[in-house]
Amino acid sequence: GALELRLDTERREHQRAHRELETNLRGLSIGIRQKEELIRTLVRNEMEANSAAQEAKERVGKMERQVAEYREAVEKAAKELEAQEAELREASAEARAALQAKVQTQRVYTEKLKAAERQLGDAKRQLSALEKMQAERRRDEHRIDVLESEVARMRGHAGELKRKLKAEEAAERAAVEKLTKELARVRREAELERRRAQKLATENERQRSQLQGKAREV
Cβ-defined contacts of 15-21 (< 8 Å, 24+): 15/172, 17/168, 18/165, 18/168, 18/169, 18/172, 21/161, 21/164, 21/165, 21/168
Q: What is the pLDDT of residues 82-92, one digit of tens each?
A: 666 655 555 55
Q: What is the pLDDT of residues 10-51, one digit of tens each?
A: 778 877 888 888 888 888 889 889 998 988 888 888 888 888
**Residue 104 burial (10 A CB sphere; 0-12, 13-18, 19+):** exposed
Residue 55 has pLDDT above 80, yes or no: yes
Q: What is the pLDDT of residue 99?
A: 65
Q: What are phi and psi of 89, to 5 degrees?
A: -65, -35
Do 182 and 1 meet the contact criterion of CB atoms below 8 Å apart? no
Residue in 30, 27, 21, 5 with CA at minimum distance from that of residue 171: 21
Cα separation, 19 vs 15, in Å, equals 6
Q: Mean pLDDT score of the chain, rounded to an integer?
A: 80
Cα separation, 30 vs 38, in Å, equals 12
Q: What is the pLDDT of residue 72?
A: 82
Rounded to a whole number, what is the distance in angstroms from the first to the last CA of the chain?
51
Q: What is the pLDDT of residue 101?
A: 74
Number of C-beta neighbours around residue 186 at 10 A: 14
Do 44 and 104 meet the contact criterion of CB atoms below 8 Å apart? no
Average pLDDT over every residue of 147-175: 86
Q: What is the pLDDT of residue 98?
A: 67
Q: What is the pTM of this model?
A: 0.51
pLDDT band at 191 (very low <50, low <70, confident <90, very high): confident
Q: What is the pLDDT of residue 110?
A: 81
